[in-house]
Amino acid sequence: MTRLWRWLPAIVLCAVVLVQRVHVYGRTLTPWMGAGFSMFTTTDDPFARHLRCTALAADGSELFRSARPTRTLSAAMLHLPTPSRLAPIAAELAGTRCDAPPDIAREVRRVRVDVWSLDFRAADATVLPRLVAGVERDVP
C-alpha cells in the first residue's frame, strides 16, 4: 500500500477542517458544526441561532420586529445562512409583512430577514443578540 493511502483518513480530516474554517470565518457557519472540532469554543451554537423579521416603511424606518420559532426553519438555513437560503423565507415573510398587526402591515414596504446569534458579556452576565447574516425584500 502506498504511503498516501496510509495517511488518507488524516488528510481527509485536515481538508474538512480547512473547509469548515473557511466557512466559519468567511461565510457565517456556526463553529459548532461541520467537523472543524470547534464545539464549545464560542456561544454561537446552533441553539443560539435564530431568525428575526423586521418590517420597514418606505423611508427605511423600522415599523415592527418579530421572531420566528426555529422549528419552522431548516437547520441548514440557521447554521450556514447564505442569501440563497434566506431568499425563500424572505419571500414568505414579505407576503405576511413579518406577521405585523393589520394597522402596521398597511405601511410595510420592505422586510428584512436576519439570522442572529447570541454573545455573552460575562462582566454583567448579559446575553446580547449579534447579527450573522440577512437579506431584504420588497413586499408584493
Partner 1 sequence: MTAAALLREAPRQPAFERAALVTLFTVFLYADRWTSRLADVLPLPVVIGGTLAVIAAAIAFRCQRRPAFWLALAGAMFAALLGTWWTTDDHVFLIAYWVLALGLAALEEDPAAALARHARLLLGLVFLFAALWKLLSWSYVSGGMFHYQLLVDPRFARLTQLTGAVSAADLAANFAHVDALRREALPGATLTSAPIVGTLAAILTWATLAIEGSLAALFLLPERTVPAWVRDGVFLSFLVGTYLLAPVLLFGVLLVAMGIAQARPRAATAYLVALVWVYLMAVFFSASFAR
Instruction: Say if residues 28 and 80 touch (Cβ distance below 8 Å).
Output: yes
Least distance in angstroms from the C-beta of 9 to partner 1: 4
Min dist CB 95 to partner 1, Å, is 19
CB of 77 to partner 1, least distance (A): 10
**Nearest distance from residue 101's CB to partner 1, in Å?**
15
Toward partner 1, which CB reaches closer, 2 or 103? 2
Is the Cβ of residue 5 or residue 140 nearer to partner 1 in the bound state?
Answer: 5
**3-state helix/strand/coil string of the chain:** CCHHHHHHHHHHHHHHHHHHHHHHHHCCCCCCCCCCCCCCCCCCCCCCCEEEEEEECCCCCEEEEEEECHHHCCHHHHHCCCHHHHHHHHHHHHHHHHHCCHHHHCCCCEEEEEEEEEEEEHHHCEEEEEEEEEEEEECC
Interface contacts to partner 1, rule CB under 8 A: 1, 5-10, 12-14, 16-17, 23, 29, 31, 33-44, 48, 50, 52, 65-67, 69-70, 75-76, 79-80, 118-122, 124-129
Nearer to partner 1, 14 or 87 (CB): 14
Least distance in angstroms from the C-beta of 55 to partner 1: 11
In whole angstroms, what is the distance from residue 96 CA to residue 115 CA?
18
Nearer Cβ to partner 1 (62/138): 62
